[in-house]
Structure 1
Amino acid sequence: MKRKLRSGMSASLLALAACAALHAPQSMAARDAQTILKETCQGCHTPEADNALSRISHQRKTPEGWLMSIARMQTMHGLRISDEDRRTLVKYLADTQGLAPSETDGVRYALERRLNTVEHFDDQTSQMCGRCHSGARIALQRRPAQEWERLVNFHLGQWPSLEYQALARDRDWFDIARKDMVPLLAKRYPLDNPAWKSWQKTAPKSDTLVGAWSFSGHLSGKGELAGVMSVSASGDDQFKVTVKGQYADGSPFNGDGSAILYSGYEWRGNVTIDGVVMRQVFAVKGSELQGRMFDAEHDERGLDFIAAKQGSSRLLAVQPGYLKAGSETEVTLIGSGLQGTPNFGSGVEVAQVLEQSPERIKVKIKAAADAKPGAREVMIGNLKGVTLAVYSQIAEVKVVPEFSVARIGEGGGSTPKVQGRFDAEAWGKGIDGKPYRIGVFPAQWKVEAFDDRAKEDQDVKFAGTMQADSGVFTPGDAGPNPARKMSTNNAGNLKVIAAVDDAGKSLTGEGHMIVTVQRWNNPPIP
């Protein structure tokens, strides 16, 4: 059945791998944004009152969202624009038509490339929209009802087969999209929001980010790390970055690069760490930076990152974050403005202060044999916000992420493999019987067939290899494999099993990993 589409197709979220542009500072642009809009965009987008342009002026997006829209104009409508002009335009649009910090809460995992996140949207949104792309992609943009309706029209015009796909052919997709989804999205994600207007008035100046930042992080398969990131200005909202740190095992975490600030708080950087280019996707929250760093070529190889500006007072982390009752260990507190002796609560005493500075305090602590199990708040003076878990025994081991997707690759092709990377989390039970997280423990790792079909197809043999001591799974090569039934590829359906030793007792946890084919369409917002 043919559908009559309403005029004005909406900007889609198709994008190029040019997302690297978001993570690198722009050089001196030959043209300012207003000139670019007039000379490059106004040929299709008509002028409106108050210096606005049709379609463009009626949306708000993240830097990645604006980049994806421009990329779609290039790939679908033949837009010709230089890299410099594209960077200038993304910066301008993200600054003037971006999202407030509160508008990205809960969906930053998409910007940070946490691609194994299991989303939780309502059934209608998941079935109508989330079956093709993440729900976060919708939640990271703002439109009035008319623009949401144009987006629906665009989808059907660009991908007419979507009405015949699963979760669409059994219902009147277009009618539901127009009558139910458009008003829902317009109410949930409106163009006009006081939060954005308020943020534009109160956003701090970027020069407040210049200085040294104490940071803490965790990389799956490697462990905890800490250090100092030094930031210096190199232009309007642009920075030079130097990182000096190390992992808990003593290996270095050093490098330098550059960064740019969008919308007053969206930090995007490119930093080469020990020869590996890593992206930085952080949110600035006052004197704190928080987000994720990940390998530019392998976004699954990423680390959680949190930093506090030196000169402020902030407790970021305790490494390691657990202690067994009746034992002693050395722990390091990471933060800024740290003074005095830390307090770990009743039953835990500080036996010795080994090292002390405003950014780092290393102490030897001892837990009494009858110390109350559970996560207790750690304090240094008035600073708090992190916990130390005391346990007598591990009750349960969990594999994190519980569900993961790895992807075959290489094998003569240009698409790299996507690893599976896992942590083993130990959990205990408090005296009230309620579970609490102890922390990430060393484990021995293996994979097994997830079900009988996987066993019959020998998925363990062909899908890839698990590193027994790190929890890093490397998939097999892409392409047909003559050794497999019907020469199929090296896909697989696997259990991920972690074994943790607790005083001679082995406890295991299980996760689920799908090893599947390459991801050909890999936009900045999945």
Structure 2
Amino acid sequence: MTSTARPRLGWHRLPVAALLAAGALTTSVVVAQTDETDTPDTDASTWVEHEAGIPVTDPLTREKCGTCHTADDKGNLSRISWIRSTPEGWAQTIKRMVKLNGLDITPQEARAVTTYLSTYHGLAPEEAKPVMYLAEKRILQSEAIVPNDTLRETCASCHAFAQPMSSRRSHREWALLQNMHRALYSTADFIYDTPVGSGYDEDGGSAPEDGKPPVKQATAALEWLSKNAPLHTPEWAAWRPRIKTPQLAGKWLVSADLPGRGRFVGEMTVAPKAPGSNEFVTSTVLRSLEDGSVHTRKGSALIYTGFSWRGTSDGAAKTTAPDDLDSKLRETMWFAPDQALAMGRWYWGEYHEFGFDVTLRREAGAPAVAAVSSDALKIGSKGTQVHIYGANLPTSLTPTDVDFGSGVTVSKVVSATPNEAVVTLDVAANAVPGLRDLSVGGAVLAKALPVYASVDYVKVTPETALAHLGGIKFAKGYEQFAAYAYSNGPDGKRGTDDDFAIRPIDVTWSLAEFTTTTYDNDVKFVGTIDPAKGLFTPNVEGPDPARRFGRNNYGEVWVVATAKDLKGADGKPLIGRSYLVTTVPTYKRWDQPEVSE
């Protein structure tokens, strides 16, 4: 979702597909050498490529791509050697080559080429991590991601900003990408040629007072991405010699959070399909900390670039509901370069709307901590039992072996096993509120336990949400909401950077009208929300004769969470809310599934 105070282009003038791809968040700066003819007013296809390419060494890639992409005496293939991208980015490119240029390639060959290119012409771990949210199918607010209005207008008006940020290119290649968008998408010319700062004014903007021609959006975007997302970066130079077959076999401690369903802990066993392979099989057991239910899964995965996990897994039980925890999951994770930690999302749903936020820690014999419960401690509380979940925990713990920081005292160790320790905590009346790190047996879990003075407000996640009508000819797109108690933090002000989540809370869920038109009554037509679970189920698609003008059941509503046991200073229950848009099904799907399918 994007929003901006600038004037926006009307819906009938927006492109139907992608516009210019922009760069990533790396701070590295490489300014490309250019000829005098390499100007925005000349065709980029006539420019001379000055930057050093990355040779293509894989025989299959050279065979399949070399018929159109010419080779030079250094082993470079035209275009390809001056681009780096993610697995999804290269897969998308191969599909475009098949559809538009007649590339003859089998699925097995396509996977092999994608594996090679995303590994040896890919992103370094530090470059890939900020854009993982695209492969993880997360929806983020663009205001916190897009660096300026020009990139918001030329790129993020159509893409998630991670789409352009998922590649690195030479200056010439970024310009050629502009050419492609101009050729394929009719409104790209309009957006690119508007002056910077014009805000899509109908007259194209007025000339600056100094009389110089205004800088076009395309020129400004090309300059930014050439400097901030160049082909050659320090991160890539450092990672390139370290690329190797990942050594992930063994046991991994799992901690996971599922909105609306709470936290889970467990263990994943990973084994290679063959010696030296980048393909793995998995067996996972997850236990809910909310209700104690246990869920087992079997799966497989492929590792790209030495750190990008793309996999699937199936639950052991038969699924009976759209939000069933035993549903088939897609697994997308980023592994740290030392291969001791991984983070990502395991998701499912027609629109990828359900998903675990997952962290994996390698079990290597040393103590490791996955999670703690209870959810939070109030300042001044005494005798609260807290469970510590992990692996290889010391069984002879003493109170001094467990540390939650100053003001929190471990008064007693109730029990201790290798996988779980139970301790009793006292919190001083003058303890500093905030998220506390836990140290036990040499293992540290950052931000493990919130300590708070008071609950100041309720926050609903996601704060803005999207659901899709369906159930007749198209599948429904659900939305799961969760409510959290929040603290204003040390500054005492709501909505500032030091605010922190305290714990999930019990609420009653309801829908309220988001007034846009006096007669629309969206709350009666868009769907229903489970008052206890917070699961929104959209209505069916298609014209509704019960609705004015026979309109579809789309609309905008507030999702309201009313706390059951928390009250504000006025004595009334605390309330949080989220903005929900329920829209029509995605009638046309572009063929860009994840690589591992």
TM-score when normalising by structure 2: 0.77
> Structure 1 residues 314 and 423, CA, compared in 2 at 3 Å: closer, same or farther?
same
Q: Which has the higher strand share?
A: 1
Aligned to 2:263: 224
Mapped partners of 2:215, 2:157: distance in 1: 17
Higher-Rg member (1/2) = 2
Mapped partners of 2:220, 2:491: distance in 1: 45
Tell me by how many angstroms 1:161 deviates: 3.2
Mapped partners of 1:502, 1:392: distance in 2: 16
Mapped partners of 1:5, 1:405: distance in 2: 40
Task: Provide the identity percentage.
Answer: 32
Mapped partners of 1:170, 1:100: distance in 2: 43
Which segments of 5 or more consecutive residues in structure 2 lack a partner in the other structure? 1-40, 48-55, 192-198, 206-213, 317-325, 494-498
Contact 2:150 2:217 in 1 (8 A): no
Contact 2:252 2:268 in 1 (8 A): yes
Aligned to 1:135: 161
Aligned to 1:53: 77
Letter of the 2:548 partner, please give it. K
Tell me by how many angstroms 1:327 deviates: 5.7
Moved more, 359-368 or 382-391: 359-368
Quick one: which of 343, 346, 363 aligns to 2:403? 343
Residue 227 of structure 2 corresponds to residue 187 of structure 1: yes
Secondary structure at the aligned position of 1:98 is classed as coil
> Structure 1 residues 264 and 499, CA, compared in 2 at 3 Å: closer, same or farther?
same
Letter of the 2:343 partner, please give it. Q
Contact 2:348 2:354 in 1 (8 A): yes
Tell me by how many angstroms 1:229 deviates: 0.3
Q: Would you identify which runs of 4 or more consecutive aligned residues in structure 1 move more than 6 Å?
A: none
Matches within 5 A, 1:277-296: 277-285=328-336, 286=338, 287-295=340-348
Mapped partners of 2:490, 2:74: distance in 1: 64
Quick one: which of 175, 178, 201 aligns to 2:241? 201
Residue 539 of structure 2 corresponds to residue 486 of structure 1: no
Aligned to 1:377: 437
Letter of the 1:479 partner, please give it. G
Mapped partners of 1:158, 1:8: distance in 2: 19
* Residue-by-residue CA offset, 1:285-315 (whole Å, 9 max, x unaligned): 1211111110164411001000111125543
* Residue-by-residue CA offset, 1:87-126 (whole Å, 9 max, x unaligned): 1011010111010111123322112110244453111100
Moved more, 325-334 or 44-53: 325-334
Mapped partners of 2:292, 2:256: distance in 1: 14
Mapped partners of 2:279, 2:221: distance in 1: 39
Tell me by how many angstroms 1:465 deviates: 1.0
Aligned to 2:360: 307
Residue 456 of structure 2 corresponds to residue 395 of structure 1: yes
Secondary structure at the aligned position of 1:289 is classed as strand
> Structure 1 residues 346 and 177, CA, compared in 2 at 3 Å: closer, same or farther?
closer
Aligned to 1:124: 150
* Residue-by-residue CA offset, 1:192-211 (whole Å, 9 max, x unaligned): 1121121122346412x110
Quick one: which of 348, 354, 375 aligns to 1:321? 375
Aligned to 1:148: 174
Moved more, 128-137 or 103-112: 103-112
Aligned to 1:246: 287
> Structure 1 residues 430 and 283, CA, compared in 2 at 3 Å: closer, same or farther?
closer
* Residue-by-residue CA offset, 1:115-159 (whole Å, 9 max, x unaligned): 244453111100111111111111110000100000000001011
Contact 1:216 1:334 in 2 (8 A): no
Aligned to 1:422: 481
Mapped partners of 1:89, 1:168: distance in 2: 44
Aligned to 2:194: none
Contact 2:472 2:540 in 1 (8 A): yes
Contact 2:558 2:578 in 1 (8 A): yes
Aligned to 2:32: none
Secondary structure at the aligned position of 2:492 is classed as coil
Secondary structure at the aligned position of 2:402 is classed as coil
Contact 2:386 2:424 in 1 (8 A): yes
Letter of the 2:330 partner, please give it. R
Contact 1:214 1:334 in 2 (8 A): no
Aligned to 1:516: 583
Aligned to 2:211: none
Tell me by how many angstroms 1:442 deviates: 2.4
Higher relative contact order (CA 8 A, sep 6+): 1
Contact 1:109 1:117 in 2 (8 A): no
Tell me by how many angstroms 1:364 deviates: 4.4
> Structure 1 residues 329 and 458, CA, compared in 2 at 3 Å: closer, same or farther?
farther
> Structure 1 residues 410 and 116, CA, compared in 2 at 3 Å: closer, same or farther?
farther
Aligned to 2:12: none
Contact 2:487 2:501 in 1 (8 A): yes
Mapped partners of 1:496, 1:226: distance in 2: 29
Secondary structure at the aligned position of 2:156 is classed as coil
Residue 256 of structure 2 corresponds to residue 256 of structure 1: no
> Structure 1 residues 86 and 500, CA, compared in 2 at 3 Å: closer, same or farther?
same
Mapped partners of 2:562, 2:77: distance in 1: 59
Mapped partners of 1:138, 1:430: distance in 2: 35
Residue 524 of structure 2 corresponds to residue 473 of structure 1: no
Secondary structure at the aligned position of 2:256 is classed as strand
Contact 2:265 2:370 in 1 (8 A): no
Secondary structure at the aligned position of 1:72 is classed as helix
* Residue-by-residue CA offset, 1:43-101 (whole Å, 9 max, x unaligned): 22111232221111111001111111111112222323211001101101011101011
Aligned to 2:503: 439
Letter of the 1:107 partner, please give it. V
Aligned to 1:162: 188
**How many residue pairs align between the two structures?**
496
Mapped partners of 1:43, 1:167: distance in 2: 42
Letter of the 1:315 partner, please give it. V
Residue 122 of structure 2 corresponds to residue 98 of structure 1: yes
Residue 239 of structure 2 corresponds to residue 213 of structure 1: no
Secondary structure at the aligned position of 1:410 is classed as coil
Letter of the 2:344 partner, please give it. G
Aligned to 1:36: 60
Mapped partners of 1:49, 1:303: distance in 2: 48
Mapped partners of 1:140, 1:363: distance in 2: 45
Letter of the 2:525 partner, please give it. F
> Structure 1 residues 431 and 131, CA, compared in 2 at 3 Å: closer, same or farther?
closer
Secondary structure at the aligned position of 1:460 is classed as helix
Contact 1:33 1:88 in 2 (8 A): no
Contact 1:33 1:89 in 2 (8 A): no
Secondary structure at the aligned position of 1:299 is classed as coil
Aligned to 2:307: 265
Moved more, 433-442 or 249-258: 433-442
